Amino acid sequence: MTRSRSVDTFKMTAMPQMIKKMVNVLCAMLSLTIVGSTVISSAVSPFFPLPSVPKTQVFAPLPCPESPSVEKERKEEKIRELIFSMTLREKLCQMFILYPQALGTNTVPVQNIDEEIKQGLKKTPVGGVIFSGGNLSTPLGTAAFIDDLQNESRIPLFVAVDEEGGKVARLANSGNFHVKKYSSMLDVGKSKRSGDAYNVGQTIGAYLSKYRFNLDFAPVADIFSNPSNTVIGNRSFGRDPKTVSAMALAVSQGLGSKGIISCFKHFPGHGDTAEDSHTGKVTVFKTWEELKEFELLPFITAINSECDMIMAAHIDLPNVTNDGLPATLSKELLKGKLCTELGYTGVIITDGLDMKTIESRYSPAEYAVLAVIAGADILLLPSDFTAALDALEKAVEDGEISEERIEESLVRILSLKEKYMHILSEPKN
């Protein structure tokens, strides 16, 4: 009985005290904050005496960084707030990339900003500008021109150029820019070393970034499969789909490492054509299954690598679509094949809409509406910007195109700008 009573007494007195001490120890341990090699505490452990620390040296725990998903949701919400603050016409303007002079009344290339262009950017805040060789002056002059354009734009501009390397390289071939020149991408592709292509992208990306460009209409993802092809030719990395896929992707990654947006072109493949879409109609008679086995492989590789932008070509594909429209204007091809079947979710841009194959068949008002219905996000170089813009505005007002469809493009455009230009961190009034 004595032993039983003492055990009961122990349970009632000693055990609670031990539990209390254990809790105190745990609390003391949890209160520790490690700063460098110094351990500091706001509580005193009965078992592990700690040095006395002035209150000014006790730091609160650092806040946990946002998870990628939370940060993505926060940015998406800010982008939607930005879109909500825009008028319909402002939204539509973001879907255009023009020559700088198209913001005014000049019909020849300009190399400096003027009051007319400033007012044009305020009245019609386009998504971006593209520089031709004629828009390039000196290295310092070009950089200053681009800075001036950006300073006048509420939302940072895409500033684009065709700098593929080889015969299509506006800066390298201008004579005023002392940058590395390449004979052709076909020569680069002969090595079959993707590292060589990555170095090309890094080199071009470095000098484009230096002179304030942020978008390069490269790489060429077309396969040089037709010896009669003159429009692509040695702009391609070769005749083998695997080589072209690897080299094009590597150039894109090299450009991206220097903060330059790349654009894979010309979907669904311009390499097996004898005609030039700059001068007339171009037709490819292959079926979709045939294209998937060859021409589409570089684009599929790019899509699987989550590429940022794809340029649609002005190619008719009568054995793929039933709408009789070139790829740039075909909803069957862009929405149906590229987005739905191949799973592409990035920005779609048209090839230059001022090219003869389009201009000879459609008015600026017609091709602007058709391109957006088809799924294009950005319209490149319409010959009459005002007519194209007015037509899109009317199409939305008449219900032919929903405003939600426009906002879908705006989300993709502004998300891409945020990714490379951080447009949400420095809003302009």
CA distance 392 to 188: 42
CA distance 351 to 367: 12
Catalytic (active site) residue 278: yes
> DSSP states of 225-280 as a string?
--TT--SSGGGSS-S-HHHHHHHHHHHHHHHHHTT-EE-EEEET--TT-SS-TTTS
For the stretch 139-175, what's the b/e string if a residue is b when 16 or more beta carbons lie within 10 angstroms of its beta carbon? beebebbbebbbebbebbbbbbbbbbbbebbbbbebe
Catalytic (active site) residue 270: no
CA distance 56 to 375: 59
CA distance 128 to 109: 16
CA distance 250 to 149: 31
DSSP 8-state symbol, 207: H
Q: What are the residues whose beta carbons fall under 8 Å from the beta carbon of 162, sequence distance 6 or more?
A: 130, 168, 169, 170, 216, 217, 218
User: Which one of the listed residues 114, 278, 354, 384 is annotated catalytic?
Assistant: 278
* Coil vs helix vs strand at 100: helix
Cα separations (Å) of 112 from 60, 102, 145, 173? 53, 13, 5, 20
User: Which one of the listed residues 162, 316, 351, 377 is annotated catalytic?
Assistant: 351
Where on the phi/psi map is residue 365: left (φ > 0), alpha (ψ -120 to 50), or beta?
Answer: alpha
CA distance 265 to 37: 54
Whether 377 and 405 have beta carbons less than 8 Å apart is answered as no
Active centre residues (catalytic): 278, 351
